[in-house]
Structure 1
């Protein structure tokens, strides 16, 4: 391999090394030739990757903070993609109009914040053909919101990155009646169980460990509030073990 080819190879490889396993999985869930919005885009790695791969040809990159949006702009310019990108400063999906994009990515935020973002501009959230959501905390609150507010969960995925398992929820608004489901499926996505995700066993076992630790910390403490908390956590452990034995 001559020096020019070697340099090109290294440059291409470094370009995609910016995408972690979590981000690569999110990117893989975007359908070809769709207009997308990446909300809370940070450095814009996902849309830049998708544009470079010719999977999409247009993206809106939104962030509430100027710093991350400037970082995204630098990444866009570095990759000669300015004509395919619209950078927007603002809160959540309030930077979008209904039907302006086909698919929306909201990743790297807490589940409660994602709920607030979806509620803040329902016409946009409801018009998207696909929402790709990746909560960093409180995924159970996000699932509860989706089930109770007319959304259909199309699929879910687990991704291991270093020592952590991340949850990704793919959904769309369908104006469904609020779903009454077993509360354990707020903790563990029903789709993950149905398709027996390769990481589901590790995922459930980790949740059991976390809840057993909570129970251990409550030992020796008294009071009605403590007893109620113990009962809730014990029931959760029981339900998680039931899922594990299926």
Structure 2
């Protein structure tokens, strides 16, 4: 009897954001754990697991066979969304990469991104770059979730293309409206850690030989806004 796959906290958070869909595409699938979960839960008619390297795909195929879902998951080697046909651009996962890598991929493959029904994106770090890119390029963050695994916080965003460009205060690159609305202990912890991180950045900039006073002013303003959000969340909790 084939057992159900058990996902760790970060991957489970992402997997639980997947809606019922026609086609699920997992970009940079690595072990193919989320496609296997989606297949076992019967979330999609078709699942495509891609990776740019053959090594991870071999591992993915082995796992897919071990969980007996080869009839539901197709593997492909390719760079980002380039190995997908337009009619397959339904729900696209891009997870486990840095914010810079992800935003570069979105920019280089913008035509395909804009044809997706939705994207679910999880940055391992620099999630502020993804939020900023979304605001500038009409990608609406319709949902954002947060979890903690091994004392590290992770966020994941469900994004819908085709929106309007948003001119928001820079603080919203560091936390979205969707996340702020939750007012949970993890959101408070996220605010705390972001304030600490940006405060260290300011101290580093101030001690540099060439100090950009305008950048420091903007960072301090962001820190103050984050502190206000934290105080409001504490008051509401």
Instruction: Note if 1:189 corresponds to 2:176.
Output: yes
Q: Which runs of 5 or more structure 1 residues have no equivalent in the other structure? A: 1-7
Partner of 1:5: none
Separation in structure 2 between the aligned mates of residue 210 and residue 49 of structure 1, nearest angstrom? 35
Out of 140-149 and 38-47, give the one that drifted further. Answer: 140-149
Separation in structure 1 between the aligned mates of residue 78 and residue 30 of structure 2, nearest angstrom? 13
Separation in structure 1 between the aligned mates of residue 185 and residue 118 of structure 2, nearest angstrom? 24
Out of 208-217 and 75-84, give the one that drifted further. Answer: 208-217
Aligned partners of 1:99 and 1:124 also within 8 Å: no
Q: Which runs of 5 or more structure 2 residues have no equivalent in the other structure? A: 233-237
Aligned partners of 2:170 and 2:222 also within 8 Å: no
For residues 73-107 of structure 1, what are the alpha-carbon distances to aligned partners after superposition, in whole Å with 9 as ceiling and x for unaligned? 10111122222111110101111111214200000
Q: Moved runs in structure 1, 4+ residues, more than 6 A?
A: none
Partner of 1:12: 3
Alignment of 1:44-55 (within 5 A): 44-55=32-43
Instruction: Note if 1:24 corresponds to 2:12.
Output: yes
Out of 228-237 and 154-163, give the one that drifted further. Answer: 228-237
Partner of 1:88: 76
Q: Which has the higher contact order (CA 8 A, sep 6+)?
A: 2
Partner of 1:4: none
Aligned partners of 1:148 and 1:178 also within 8 Å: yes
Alignment equivalent of 1:238, drawn from 224, 229, 232: 224
Alignment equivalent of 2:167, drawn from 180, 185, 189: 180
Count of residues paired in the alignment: 232
Alignment equivalent of 2:188, drawn from 201, 216, 229: 201
Aligned partners of 2:21 and 2:90 also within 8 Å: no
Give the secondary structure class of the aligned counterpart of 2:168.
coil
Measured at CA, do residues 222 and 119 of structure 1 come closer, stay the same or move farther in structure 2, by a change above 3 Å? closer
* CA root-mean-square deviation: 2.0
In the TM superposition, residue 117 of structure 1 has moved relative to its aligned partner by 1.8
Separation in structure 2 between the aligned mates of residue 38 and residue 79 of structure 1, nearest angstrom? 17
Instruction: Note if 1:35 corresponds to 2:23.
Output: yes
Separation in structure 2 between the aligned mates of residue 227 and residue 41 of structure 1, nearest angstrom? 43
Aligned partners of 2:3 and 2:67 also within 8 Å: no
TM-score by length of 2: 0.90
Give the secondary structure class of the aligned counterpart of 2:218.
helix
Out of 195-204 and 125-134, give the one that drifted further. Answer: 195-204
Aligned partners of 1:94 and 1:120 also within 8 Å: no
Give the secondary structure class of the aligned counterpart of 1:179.
coil
**Which of the two has higher C-alpha Rg?**
1
For residues 45-76 of structure 1, what are the alpha-carbon distances to aligned partners after superposition, in whole Å with 9 as ceiling and x for unaligned? 00101111222342100100111111101011
